[in-house]
Amino acid sequence: MILVVDGFNLIYKFHELENFMLNNELDKAMMGLVEYLSYLSNRLKKQHKIYIFFDGKKFRGDDTYQEVIQGIHCYYSHETSADNLIEEFIKNKRLNNISGIRVISSDKKIQNFTKKYKYEYQSSEDFYLWFKEITSEVKEIQEKPETISKKEMDYWLNVFKKRK
């Protein structure tokens, strides 16, 4: 499965990344999203290839158009919009008969364009909920307390009974 992510559209669903945006720390917000999606990719055993499209430049004065960071393919639109890059990406994949694409965006224009090319789409809100569900499973497993034997339990119950 290929995930195509409308970067700034999804950033605002993560509270801590939204705070970076509000503090004009775009680079931290963008790299935070890359880290989250890299973690997700590793959690899913890299079954998904992830492409993020950001509006504008990586940072002022930078000429990077695309790069791979932590296994995530990042694209920067420069003078055009990320929406245009996403549309070009979708057209290119359709021309090459590539299936299994899900576009992550709450932008109606992108959702309609995705439908037109018969690919899946998921709103950023729904993706965020799915992300939290997938990543919380890991935490739950890690946070389960160790169990104690019946013998240990009986010992401690006996200790507390004697204190009364």
pLDDT number for residue 142: 44
pLDDT number for residue 147: 66
**Which two three-digit tokens encode residue 16?**
């801590």
Which segments in the chain show pLDDT lower than 50? 138-144
Report in angstroms the alpha-carbon separations of 131 from 14, 37, 90, 142, 155.
10, 9, 23, 17, 43
**Residues in a beta bridge with 4:** 51, 103
Q: Give the C-alpha separation, 113 to 131, whole Å.
A: 24
105 — alpha (psi -120 to 50), left (phi > 0) or beta? beta
Phi and psi angles of residue 104, each rounded to the nearest 5 degrees, phi first? -105, 105
**Which two three-digit tokens encode residue 118?**
């018969």
Question: Torsion angle of alpha carbons 35, 20, 53, 83, nearest 10°?
Answer: 150
What kind of architecture, by CATH, is found in domain 2-163? 3-Layer(aba) Sandwich (3.40)
**Which two three-digit tokens encode residue 89?**
């990406």
pLDDT number for residue 140: 43
